[in-house]
A and B are shown apart, each in its own frame.
Chain A
Amino acid sequence: MVLAMGKTLVEKILSDKSDKDAMAGDIVIAKVDVAFVQDGTGPLAVRQFDEAGFAKVANPDKTILFLDHAAPSPNKQLSNDHMLLRQFSKNTRVQLSEVGEGVCHQIVAENYAVPGDVVVGADSHTVTAGAFAAVATGMGSTDIAVAMALGKTWFRVPGTFKIVVNGSFKKGVYPKDLILHLIGMIGADGATYKALEFGGDTIDAMPISGRLTIANMAVEAGAKMGLFASDETTKAYLVSQRRGGSYRPIVPDPDAIYERTIEINAGTIEPTVSKPHTVDNIALTRELANIEVQQVFMGTCTNGRLSDLAVAASVLEGKTRSSDTRLLVAPASKKVLSDAIAAGYIQVLLDAGAAIMPPGCAACVGVHQGILGDGEVCLSTANRNFKGRMGNPNSYIYLASPATAAATAITGRITDPREVV
């Protein structure tokens, strides 16, 4: 009798979806559960879909076109791209997420991804859905066009780095600080071609929102996926979205083989900032107190969720932004915006001087709504600070948690949140 070897999360899920005993290094053809594009990658996907001669989409109910990166459209070219996607949705009956519904990854989290899924999207931050014990990864337009039509794609099963996090965060420290800390440790290409699998008591105690933040940034270490086991927290989240029936527990085998194990004591992490122009260029927030900031941007698929706005509102309550610093807030989805209004957070942010923008990617991608001027500095809760990312190569982007962003908006310079609360 041959004993099956222990499997990591990605090996388990890809074995299930490919009907093979998939281990790291194997090439598999796997069933795709959720496939999507956004308005920056979708028009090319539609053209490649047509060029390949496809007429039908395999699974229209779980194939989604998101209008989020340039929504509402800032110019006629992008308006025409939006028209192309709307027409494709009509022709093929795939789902259309209109202007103002929110960022693709947040809506995939709210409405689509479930444990055990294979989720592929023409957007690098598709890794976000790994928070649900899903194999979720970004690909290009052509790969997604083919996945939409055939309902499957190919993968080389990645080896896995196990990231074990134990202990409690200090006051003012959040999951964003943890993932920035990890990327600083292993580098922007430290996990290229690998899956990151997160575990440990800090992770077990972490709400879904924090897991989404961490999974979202796995790609900033080069990783193909960032996975979390599914547990009672996952179940409670799915129940809250009226999708409790889709829950199933998926955990790695105790004898799974990891290429590398990295242990982190959460209690040693301090508020952390990523400096221009690469995400692994990490510093402690308090070391950057002399950096003046003209724009604070709060939102995105990394940190635009209700809990993020709650943290920001708690820091900003009764305070106002610096007169030299504008504060842009874009909730990650319509549901987040609606819940934040009901909870009173939006009023607190408005009173503090924030400009509230429609749910979507907003200033993150440099297309519209918050492009920086020459020499300006932005502190953002997003995931990327590459040169030119926010529309101007002569500007500077720092990445941090919503708490640090809120504190920075008050003082007008990069500020450890513990200084203002």
Chain B
Amino acid sequence: MLKGRAHKFGSDISTDLIAPGRYFHLRSNLSELTKHVLEDADTEFASKVAIGDFVVAGNNFGLGSSREHAPIIIKMAGVAAVLAKSFSRIFFRNAINVGLPVLICDTDQIDQSDELEVGLATGTVKNLTNGRNIIFNRIPEAMLKILDEGGLVPYIKKHGDFKL
């Protein structure tokens, strides 16, 4: 069971807002890049986020470029999962590949700073602040096998090939 606080964002949070191109030169220095995570969506986010917190957003989270650095630095900032109404497909696949849970659910039931309890196995989000239970779409079986190993690199190290 994951427990943490919600950081609420709107729709169409692009990878340019998550990992701005002006920090392109920091992509081989991920801890430095993490200091700028989501900077152009919320300049305070990197300083506010605590380990175990959740990023909560509207539609089409992670649209844009294929930069895997975007889910990596969200994870490195301590975020336990991203919850959104929908995700851009490359971001969704990248997040699973780097071991960051991405959950599709009705995020209108969550407000800024709400306390959440997320059961990855049960498929539910409990909003401890307003008492509501939210069901999220189960992660597709093939991707769950990768996520369960902690990402694609550990998956391949263990299985040597795709066994989806």
Contact = CB atoms under 8 A, between A and B. Distances in A.
B51 interface: no
A40 B22 contact: no
Contact of B16 (A122, A141, A222, A389): A389
B89 A392 contact: no
A388 B40 contact: yes
B90 A40 contact: no
Interface residues of A, number: 57
Nearest to A193: B89
Contacts of B140: 156
Contact of B40 (A121, A142, A192, A387): A387
B95 to A, nearest CB: 9
A29 interface: yes
B16 A124 contact: no
Contact of A124 (B24, B60, B69, B90): B90
Contacts of B16: 366, 384, 386-389
A189 B59 contact: yes
Nearest to A49: B153
Given A387-B16, A389-B16, A139 B28 contact: no
Contact of A224 (B69, B89, B98): B89
B88 A222 contact: yes
A138 interface: yes
B1 interface: no
Contacts of B21: 365-367, 388-391
B27 A40 contact: yes
Contacts of A390: 21
A152 B87 CA distance: 25
A120 to B, nearest CB: 10
B15 to A, nearest CB: 8
Interface of B: 12, 14, 16-17, 20-22, 24-29, 40, 59-60, 63-69, 86-90, 93-94, 97-98, 140, 142, 151-153, 156-157, 161-162, 164
